[in-house]
Amino acid sequence: MDKIRGKAYVVGDNIDTDQIIPAIHLVYRTDIEEEAKNYGRYAMSGMDPKTIEIPFIEGNRYESDYTIMISGKNFGCGSSREHAPLALNKSGIKAVVAETYARIFYRNSVDGGFLIPYESKGRLIDEIKTGDEIEISENILKNITTNKEYILGELGDIEGIIRAGGIFNYAVENGFITK
């Protein structure tokens, strides 16, 4: 995969889809960019303000200052809301690095081509801080702020789908279906 570089936003375990994009904000059309960018505006707005020290998005902006989300276990649990990875994508998140994922969130991320779901091999939420400058290249995460490196799980078969921009584009590119 291409190199991803940017600031990390660190969250905990069991981040559910209602925290990622609350149901009240599922009113925007995804096929009209002016409306779809509202998913970015409200990404992570379901987080309890008492549990986060830095807001994910400031004010009425549509995009966050963060590019890579670092999470613990069971990221994306809850409902099968495909809007959750879309909201993170619209907010500017390119990759999520988590210990484990809820299976449906993982598949929605890959199938829609919204973001890259890397799996960590350790508890990175104890190692990385919100605002740290991070670089991911292949399956290596480098914390530029602390000059530490971590090995991530291989993407395997999903890499082709991610490169194509989602399962539909992958199917077209490989001749499985025609446009």
Q: Does some domain include residue 176?
A: no
pTM exceeds 0.85, yes or no:
yes
The total domain count for the chain is 1
Length in residues, the chain: 179
Q: What is the pLDDT of residue 80?
A: 79
Q: Does some domain include residue 25?
A: yes
CA 36, distance to chain mean position in Å, is 16
- Position 175, amino acid: G
| Structural domain containing residue 146 | 4-153
What are the distances in angstroms from CA 152 to CA 41, 155, 168? 29, 9, 26
- What is the pLDDT confidence band of residue 50, given thresholds at 50, 70 and 90? confident
- 12-39 residue pLDDT tens: 999 999 999 999 999 999 999 999 999 9
Q: Does some domain include residue 166?
A: no
Helices 83-91 & 103-111 angle (0-180, nearest 10): 60
- What is the pLDDT confidence band of residue 81, given thresholds at 50, 70 and 90? confident
Q: Give the other-Cβ count within 10 Å of 3's Cβ.
A: 10
Q: Does some domain include residue 16?
A: yes
Q: What is the pLDDT of residue 119?
A: 97
> Helix (H, G, I), strand (E, B), or coil: what is residue 83?
helix
- 110-168 residue pLDDT tens: 999 999 999 999 999 999 999 999 999 989 999 999 999 999 999 999 999 999 999 99
- What is the pLDDT confidence band of residue 56, given thresholds at 50, 70 and 90? very high
Q: What is the pLDDT of residue 105?
A: 96
Q: What CATH number corresponds to the domain at position 105?
A: 3.20.19.10
